[in-house]
Structure 1
Amino acid sequence: MDETESFQSQLERNLNERIIELFEHPYYELVITSSTLTFLACLLGTGLNVRLAHAMRFERILLVQNWLLNLLHKYLDKTIYAAYETGLAIITGEEEVQQNVWKYVRSPQLALDTRSRATNNRLLVLRKLVEIQSRFPGIAVAFKSRQAGQTILNDVSVHLSDIQRDGFFSEEQHRDLHQMLKDQMMGIICAPNSLPASYKPHRRAPRHSVDRDRQRAPVHCGT
């Protein structure tokens, strides 16, 4: 028992001496400073990793948000374009009714009522189209560009058929050219429903530019 107590006391004495030697070591402060800096560096690295992970997650959220916004804009442009195209078709139909109602209706009063109703419908739809064109000028630009491209390709297709009939092209060449025109037509049909427009709605021109345009405008004098 005495030997055990003496061994324990000797061990405690040796540990105390070692601790005292550690605190009195000439490089003790350097070791403590290095350990502290290492610990702080580990904490800083952990914090940076956490912030970097949050930043990458936020960037992914922004990418998904932009993708959803672009998808929503495309859907809205497609819907507005369809409404604009339908409105123009209605106006064309009402104009046909105004011009040809007398050919198919024998009663003058009924023909007059039909023509009056067609006129009112045309003005109502035209007012809505002007509103759409003012708020979304890119829709009108896309429609007119698509319509012009389709007209040009249709004219080229007719002219190509006439040339082929005259013997300038073989059947294979005509088939290849016709397929190329068909691909171009599909490209126009699948074109964006809204294109950049130079017209900016609700924007007033500076007064000096308006005055300059008035001064440059030619003056027509009556005889």
Structure 2
Amino acid sequence: MSRRQPTHEKIVGTNRGEIISWMSEFPQEIPGQLAAGLSRLGKDGGFNDIHVYYRIYQIPPGTVQGREIDPQEWIEAAGTADRLTVEVKRRDADGVHRLYTVGRPGAANEGQTSETLRFTFTEAHVCPSEVLTAAEAIGIFQHYYDHHQIPVDWELRETESAVSILAPEAATTSSAAPASAMSAGVSNDRLSTPGAIAGYSDSAIQGQLAKAEEQDAQRRADNT
């Protein structure tokens, strides 16, 4: 298995706080980490902590692991695995950083943010074509990880502010994320989705998660 310096950091946001850690140094494990993080949205992480959002961003060159990063560009999904919104903050050609909500083709013409996605402490109002699933978000996140941009098949709607997920008193924890969130190594099993970028089927996601759990158990056993 090839190995390289990690290029991205991830945040798992829960109703109890944030878990921040670097993503895997093994490129083969990235699809599994993305699938695990996005498919667990809306679910209990095992410590009475509901997964509410998932964000990734690039690690600046020379950054020491454990040092706080203040990213100006990132991609984030919030909600549940079957109803979520994806936002991306990017630097546009004029040098200004703007925030966008990602939608299926035709989203920019809908006009009305008639759909409501409720989170632990707040809610987001989006257009119907901006209500996505984990299967769709996985493909978007993988493309962003690989190319630092959203696939051209998807449309962007500028928004004023990011979804406020956490309560003001919510704590930020260290990079000691659970092993299951740090070492989900699985194969890249993609299926084509008509009218969109390549996505992941439900069966492929379940296979990834099962393999991730198996590898987590093996790594814990190796460390004992």
Bin the TM-score by the shorter chain: under 0.3
TM-score (norm 2): 0.23
By percentage of residues, which structure has more helix? 1
- Structure showing greater radius of gyration is 1
TM-score (norm 1): 0.23
Which gives a bigger RCO, structure 1 or 2 (Cα 8 Å, sep 6+)?
Answer: 2
